[in-house]
Structure 1
Amino acid sequence: MGDVFSKKEEKSPTRNLTQGARNTNLRINKAISKSTPDLLEDQKPRRRKFVKIGNIKVSIIQGKIAEENADVIVNSVNSDLDLETGRGSKALVESGGDAIQKECRENYPGGITENEVAVTNGGNLKCRKVYHVTLPKWEDNNKQAITTAMTNCLTMADQYRVTSLAFPPFGSGYLNYPDDILTDTMLQSVVDFEQLFHSTSIESIVIVCHRTQNSVFRAFERKTRELSGTVSQGGSHSCKCGNINVIIQKGTITKQRCDVMVITASKDLKLRNGALSKSVLEAAGPDIQTACDNNYPSGVDYGDVAATRAYKLHCRFVYFGSLPDWKNTSDNPQQVLTDFITNCLEKAHSHDTKYIAFPTLGTGALKYPPDVMTKTMESCIRKFDLKHGDTKLQHIYIVVFDRSKDCMVVENALLKEFQVSRGLTLKMPSAPPPSVEPSAPPESPAPGTPAFFLWMYNYQDKPPSYWSIFGPAKSLKEWNSQTKREPYKLVKVTRQIETAVSKIVEETWIPKYVGKGRDGAGLEDLNYTKIQVTKVERIENTELFEKYVQMRGKLFHKAGVLETPFDQLGDLPSGVKKRKVFTTVKADKSVFTDVYPEINEHYLFHGTQEDRIPTIATQGFDIRLTDKAMFGAAVYASESSTKADQYADKKSERDKSKPKKMILLRMALGEIFVTETEKKFARPPCKSCEKDKCTDSTHNSSGHGSYDSVVVDGSWNFREFLAFDAAQCYPEYVITYQRV
């Protein structure tokens, strides 16, 4: 019997051993690949692309976001914040620990909406915080959801001085957003954000595509190549002019974030008459035109400056001015240009501002030669720097309108004059943006003067000085646009405020009226003669307070036009009691600050049942629910805590064992109409005919107009104060008390 091996096999006995080993290794590798595919993927080099958007470096990589080292990692999750449902969220929990999920459940038990950001600590991840956002599934071209999520994350990061963030590709995977849509929208959101917040703290953004997301990564590659030709060199050029940073910025001036925005307009300050001023009117809102009309009724002369507040713009002040046409040599346009730039810089210096933004003055329809504008600008800045070596004004932005046909010509003239080399982008100043450290408004005129009333109308947009959660370091507009949070905070007050509030409650209490009158029915049977305050809390709701401040501002404006404070209640001829507001008389003036009697602003009591407090704290008062009230649909308030106590519970459920609530509210009464008779008002009556439904237009045009509130001062036990616009009231303090 012969050998079982052939001769060929006989000569190479080791070949079969080697082949067997290879087959075994192949089977092992396949098994490993099927069970743990990422083990092999991790051995591949990470692919990376990047683009420079202004001063923000945006990198696109393939890898695992849970392994990124950044200040903030952003997570896309479902609305109930269940981190076990998505691959990305699950990976974050696996790497970061269960504490992230626990924090979501504890701090956001109701989940989040598409307009909110949930913030947790990073656990074991290589980050300080995790921002959680939720997106809807793709339908009907809803790319705005990505814009909202990106903008919310970037704005919050900038607010807290974050320098680096890592994002997933929003909308990929089961949400089914098209690759080109999500890449375009994410990167465009960064471009828009950088143009608006060019002094942002954010330096680096990484968008991390999973290694299985090849099509998304390729889409980002294409988009970065498109962007590299327009923004890779940065959107800004910076140089020094003496001690001042001059930043040449392409974009739209109305999107700039600064202390002062300089705008040219027609001499009559009718903002719709010029392209630039019209864009400001559209961005700031109609109130800015009203401010121009009221404060500068004759307009502005060439070279002079008209200053207003900024309203909806991202700055503190707007400086308006007018320039003559370049061909109008009789007005010496170059000298006017010099005067205007100098006046703007001097006013900004007097306002203690740090950031001012100029357009390329005169280079549009007025046809100023770009080299004349740039030489004049450079000369004025240098002279200003020599004159004011200690000025706080350290950053001057010159914004070249990027959609102008002469954009490149104007930009080149600026770069040449300020000796900035094309392609060389210097690091932008690292100072905090003006919203973190806002400039002070002009110094307040003397209280009680017409100038003071108009100053209050133009510049008072801060929370009260003693608020502790949403304090006056930011304007109400900044709080409401930058902060994602619950609608209000119920804050425990200081001992000093609690004592002062308790004192007003005690000293306005009138024992003999307990249980008296129709509204006090049932209280007399409880046999109590006083109440004892057990707790005082303050409602801090910036959205509600902003509405109140705007209404209060209208009353200041009215007083400014009349050029006199409103008559005080104790000085009015009508009424039975004819006395000052009792709560104001008893208030501790060292505690109850930021209150203005010139427009009849007072603290008053409002009684309500406890279950209605959260609604009032969130939405304010709703006069639609009071249409059956004795004197008409209005917010009712009293100067006596005894009157407020009558409404703390239902007449059929009176008791003194359970704690009760009342509100101490601010009410801006304005011009007061006093009535001694029972009458149902639809609104405060006309000052000419004293009819509440007056339709005679001549009464209003004659300057009389209407009263702003009604005080009922007849033969009843208590005076009642009626505001027919809920915005005239702010529910500031919630008082918990016991009947004893």
Structure 2
Amino acid sequence: VILLQTDVIVNSVGTDLKFGVGLLCKAILEKAGPELQVEFDKEKQRQVAGEGSVVCTSGCALACKSVLHAILPVWDGNKGQTLKTLEDVINSCLKKTEKLGLNSITFPAIGTGGFGFPKTIVSKLMFDVVFKFSSSHTRKTLQDVHFLLNPKDIDNVQAFTIELERRLAENCDAAASQSSFIRPVSTPLLGGNIMQIGAITLQVIGGDITKEDTEVIVNVSNNTFDAVSGVSKAIMDAAGSQVAGECAQHAGQSQSGFITTQGGKLLCSKIIHLIHDNNVNSQVSKVLHECELKMYKSVAFPAIGTGQAGQSPAKVADDMLDAIVEFASKRSVKHLKKIKIIIFQTNMLRDFHESMKKRENSSSSTAGWWMSRLKLELPAQWEDMQEERIKLVNLKPSCQEYLEVQNKFKKTCPSFVIEKIERIQNPFLWQTYQIKASALSTKNKNQNNEKFLFHGTAVSSLSAINYNGFNRGFAGKNAANIGNGTYFAVDASYSAQDIYSRPDTNNRRYMYLARVLTGRYCAGSRGLVTPPPQNPADPTDLYDSVVDNVNKPTMFVIFNDIQAYPEYLITF
């Protein structure tokens, strides 16, 4: 995590605010330098630093722009509020990253170390919170959320992998059936907008809500349901005395924040009377879930909170749309098909129209659809692994896969005899590699970021590489002339030298043909621990790798372990 190219890194600190105690915090502090401790001590005095809060500092000597220090409690066995505290912390980190105008954030498996939170619970919670944030907020800058795990922590790797696979299975069918979850806004008539959100049609129009013929109309009132002004009074007057009588019976008794009455003289069947509070998102969600529960097919809302409550129309529009998008993204929605927002003051239509336009054609505003777009599926040629963490498959010399690898190797090593070629099947490494590939594809647009390169090694390193991938920590074992990273050669003949592919006691040698995300590269130099910046004016925008010769590279060096996948092991 300390070398990952990301805008924000999340760190965890105990409620005693002792810095550098946990393994992650200690590693971050060592890399960032003592300035980070000084800045944290200063900021914890200035910012709120109690349990569940998040203290923001710069990245100091780290490659990131900011570090968010989450103040965590110790797990209480789910007897108190610690799980809710962790949920709030994760959500707060996402909101702060968005508020800072940054594009990416990296979380460790937060709370699963010394704080004692169960790994299966944390994996589910982290996915839940991130996906809910993705679907509920109008994101402008935050695009990438990374979960970075210690590959040696097998329990954590397994917990997150299982959770990811479960969600992929749930969402891939739905994603395949819809190219866009939120369709473009259309304006079929003056003073109105229509948008398709999943299976739900949203219509925002100017008009009089008392004339609506939806199955349900929403009335925003006080806790005695006897509002005497505004839209609420208009609804009650039009509904008649029968509805007023029902409301009087329930005055001051609602436990859920709303009551439901008959429609009275209105065209609707039911009226849901909401007790007003300032959380518009929550109020809309409450009504939508009640409609689905009671199998209502259509509902009409006023612009909640824009009357006497005095809330900003733009904020109300965003909050209402957020709640509707989140609700529509749930696959359990079967009954509610039409939602209308009736704007009494037609000048507010513009605010709602702009909020709708921000979301149109979005397949990524809902985490489920976003997730299905990532190419995280395992390669089709992989053999069934059942519950194995990794699998080495001995390729048949007659198969196309074997011949392709052999040809690449023999191109510069014609005299060596290949004993066997094995395919490395490691789902966790593959998925983390694909996530990085997706991020580079977004960053570098149409550039080809991937190359097949060679890496020679000793028999003693095979198990570690097969399980955990390449480790830049071994830089310098043989040579580090162009940086302290992991080295890959264009030609197999270079990696076949004894100094790299060291013969074992049976005179066998070992070489990987790896997929490597080289991306944009520049010339390397001794002592580099990260690639240099592409633009000196922006020290966080780094090259993706370095080379020995920019015009005709024979050697590539990467500084991020997930930028390479050890696909084939050649024994010769």
Q: TM-score range by the shorter chain?
A: 0.3 to 0.5
Larger radius of gyration: 1
TM-score w.r.t. structure 1 length?
0.32
